[in-house]
Structures are given as C-alpha cells and as structure tokens.
Amino acid sequence: MKKILLFVYFINTSLLWAEEPVKLTLEEAIAIALRENREVLFRQEDLKKAKEKLKEAKAEIFPKLSLESFWTDILDYYEKNVASFSNQFSLKQPIYTGGKISGNIQMSKYGIEINQAMLEKTILETVFNVKKAFFTFLLAKEYAKLNELILNNTKNHLKTVTERYQNGLAPESEIINLKQALAGVEHVFNTSLNQIEEVKTILKNILYLDKDVDIELEGDFVYQPVEVAFDEVYLQALRERPELRIYETEEKMNRLQKEIAKSGLLPNIYASWEYYVNHSNNPVTLSKGWEDHQTLGVVLTWPIFDGFATQAKIRQAELDLKETQLLKEKAIKDIALELKNAYLELNNAISKLKAKDAEISFYEDNLRTFYDKYKNGIASELDLEDAKLSFEISQFNRKEAIYDYLMARAKLERAIGIAK
C-alpha cells in the first residue's frame, strides 16, 4: 500500500494533446489513477481535515486570552465631555475537565485512523477497477483480432464456394448459408471493436483523462502461478482489510465516547485572570482619569442536575458500541465469503488454464499435420487456413483463461486488502 502511495508517475501534459496515443502500462495506469482519481483525492482531503481537527482539539489545552473594549459618549446631548473608555483582558486556563479535553484529543486521533483506513479502502477499489479495465481492454483487443481472422476466413470460404458454384460443384444453398454466416461474423467483429472503445472510455474515466485523449495500453497475458493457502490469506485479510480497522477504531471511539459522556457528571476547574483598565470623564462618578485593577482566581463549575442528559449520552455510546460490534461481525463474515469466492475462482481459473494448454497442444499438432498435407498437395490452402484459425482460437481461449486467472487474483488481492 505504502509503495503505491509513494510511487508517483508524471505525464508530460503536452502528450495529452499529441496525435499519437499515450502509451500506458498497468503500473503507470494505477499510478495515474491514484494521483488523479477524484474519489482518492476526496479521501485525501478528508484525511487532511481530520488532522486539522486534531490540532483544533489540542488547542483546548492552551489558555484562552480575550480582549473586550468599550467606548461610550452622549455626543451633543451634554455640554461637557463625559466619554468613557475601558479595556478588559481575560485569561482562562483549564485545569481539570473530567477528561473531556484529553478524550476529545484521542477521538481526533481515532478520526485520523479511520480516514486513513477509508483512504486505503478507496485505493483498493481504485486499483482493482484499473486492473479490471486494463485486462478487459487487452482481452477485447485479442477478441477483435480473432474476429477479424474469422471474418477473413469466412470471406475466403465464401469466395471458394462461389467459384465451386460457378463451376457447378456446389449448390446455391451453401452460398446463402455462408452469406448469412458472414453477416453474423461482421456484426460480431464490429461489436468487438465497439467493446474496445467502451472499455477505453471506462478506463479514461477512472484515470480522469480528457475524453479527447487517446490511450494505448501496453501489456500481455502472462500467467505467473502463485501458491495460496486459504487459512493464511484469511488471517492476513483480518489484519489488512481497512474495513475491519475502521470498525476496530470505531469500537475504541464508542468506549471513549462513553467516558467523555461521563465527564458531564464531573466538575470543571479553570484558572482565570482579568485585567480591567478604564478612563472616564463622567462628573457623576467619583473617579476620573485612568484606573485599572486585576483579579486572579479559580472557577469551579459542577453540574448538579442536567435533566438526565448525561445518562442518555452514556446509553447512546453503549448502543453505538453494540451496533459497531454487530457490523464488525458481519464484515468478518462478508470478507470470509468474498475471500472464499475469490480463492475458488482462482483455483477454477488454474484448472481451466491446464485444460486450455492441452487444447493448444492438440490444435498445434493438428496444424503441423495440415501443413505437411498442404506441402504434399493433400490439403488445400483453405484447409491449412482453417487449421491455423483453429489454432488461433485455442490460443485466444488460453488468453481468456489467463484473463480469468488475473481477475480472480485481483479479486483475491482486494479481498486480502493488498493494493499492488
């Protein structure tokens, strides 16, 4: 998580308006998303705000100094000058607040922890969404390439059958069937091209790139097997998942909130100092000119009866704690289910990959056989093209299986709480 947060990728803004597409790897796309995605930025601002709240809470420790100034005059309603001017400086220092100030400081620290966890949760989702769009884009490109091969193969079949029909060697129904098949293949090919643009738009939206910016993704479907033990990743998820850290911190906040509420029954003690300076020209008063005096004391306030408001606050904190504990228990079960599903998907993808490897071996051997037949004049060029197409389809099926594996692995990493 920290490595991704520290990794910053800079794009020259002039490239955004260049005619050539901006080429991006998966790592670069993730870095841009973490820098530009508005949900991530929103959470970062929340974290900054939480840190400022901590400063606000700590400010209650320090004394409060205030100044009040008064000036009075009756203007033209009296012949003599009777204006008066006074200043009052007040200093108030909390000595004992029943733990309210220290409690609020700790609450602010918990708020930072929660906002940090929420930021990490947003990063997890953003990284997963980038991976999903990235891998889907690569698969859509491969699918479009395959459909183009199928389209060309269908056209060649139609051309061959048309020639045979003209020579009286094929019925007209074969031409009609192939034309119908060609129309369907053309539709699928055009749809696959549209899918590329749709996925590209989704990715640009995640990265917050301008709609006019063209991007080209650089990557390939590479199978890198990993050993996964469910019990180990489950324990890791309990440590790493930000949702659980949020609930754990909220439990601490609820317990602390109860203690803060109890402070409403305790006395508050403040030290106070006041300095008063006055100047008056009022003939009615005995004193004239500048006068000053100061007072120093200790103020004790002790709430005797507050209409049971404190008891209600304590009860609310207890209920909040119980609610948080229930939500935490539910989150643990949801995470276990999410983790189990991702784990099973990963195993299914691995099994599917093994089957596709066997399929590739079969069609590769079949292609070699037709190539030998073609060299010996036993098979036609179209037969060889069909064998090549079957081999290409088997290769695409393997890439699709790797796509399933990569997505299952991305889901597993998200379920564990790993963003990489």
Q: What gap in Å lies between CA 176 and CA 157, rounded to an integer?
A: 12
Q: What gap in Å lies between CA 242 and CA 257, rounded to an integer?
A: 22
DSSP state of 20: S
pLDDT tens for the chain, 420 residues: list them: 444 444 343 344 444 444 578 899 999 999 999 999 999 999 999 999 999 999 999 999 999 999 998 877 666 555 555 667 788 999 999 999 999 999 999 999 999 999 999 999 999 999 999 999 999 999 999 999 999 999 999 999 888 888 888 888 888 888 899 899 999 999 999 999 999 999 999 999 999 998 888 889 999 888 888 888 999 999 999 999 999 999 999 999 999 999 999 988 899 999 999 998 887 665 555 555 678 889 999 999 998 888 899 999 999 999 999 999 999 999 999 999 999 999 999 999 999 999 999 999 999 999 999 989 888 888 888 889 999 999 999 999 999 999 999 999 999 999 999 987
Residue count of the chain: 420
- Report yes or no on 406 lying in a domain: yes
pLDDT given for residue 7 in this prediction: 39
22-24 and 289-301: which strand pairing? unpaired
Q: What gap in Å lies between CA 66 and CA 92, rounded to an integer?
A: 9
- Report yes or no on 8 lying in a domain: no
Which pLDDT tens digit goes with each residue over 349-377? Answer: 999 999 999 999 999 999 999 989 888 88
Amino acid present at 36: E
- Report yes or no on 36 lying in a domain: no
Which pLDDT tens digit goes with each residue over 171-211? Answer: 888 889 989 999 999 999 999 999 999 999 999 999 999 88
For the record, the structure tokens of 17 come out as 């308006």
Beta bridge partners of 72: 84
Longest dimension (CA), the chain: 134
Beta bridge partners of 232: none
DSSP state of 27: H
User: Domain range spanning residue 364?
Assistant: 226-266+320-420
Q: In the chain, how many domains are there?
A: 1
pLDDT given for residue 77 in this prediction: 56
pLDDT given for residue 8 in this prediction: 40
Q: What are phi and psi of 71, to 5 degrees?
A: -140, 130
Q: What gap in Å lies between CA 108 and CA 91, rounded to an integer?
A: 26
Beta bridge partners of 271: 93, 298
**Concatenated DSSP letters for 189-250?**
HHHHHHHHHHHHHHHHHHHT--TT--EEE------------HHHHHHHHHHH-HHHHHHHHH
pLDDT given for residue 86 in this prediction: 85
Kind and range of the H or E run holding 127:
helix 100-166
Q: What are phi and psi of 369, to 5 degrees?
A: -65, -45
pLDDT given for residue 379 in this prediction: 86
18-25 contacts: CB < 8 A, separation 24 or more? 21/214, 21/215, 21/216, 22/209, 22/213, 22/214, 22/215, 22/216, 23/215, 23/216, 23/217, 23/218, 24/215, 24/216, 24/217, 24/218, 25/217, 25/218, 25/219
- Of the chain, the end-to-end C-alpha distance in Å amounts to 7
CATH of the domain at 335: 1.20.1600.10
- Report yes or no on 208 lying in a domain: no
Find where tokens 């699918």 sit.
Answer: 143
pLDDT given for residue 81 in this prediction: 57
Q: What gap in Å lies between CA 377 and CA 7, rounded to an integer?
A: 59
pTM of the model: 0.83
DSSP state of 418: -
Q: What gap in Å lies between CA 195 and CA 232, rounded to an integer?
A: 38
For the record, the structure tokens of 247 come out as 């609930």
Decide: helix, strand or coil at residue 367.
Answer: helix
Buried b or exposed e, range 379-397, using 16+ CB within 10 angstroms: beeeebbbbbbbbbebbbb
For the record, the structure tokens of 313 come out as 């606050």
- Report yes or no on 151 lying in a domain: no
- Report yes or no on 140 lying in a domain: no
- Report yes or no on 373 lying in a domain: yes
- Report yes or no on 374 lying in a domain: yes
pLDDT given for residue 359 in this prediction: 92
pLDDT given for residue 109 in this prediction: 97
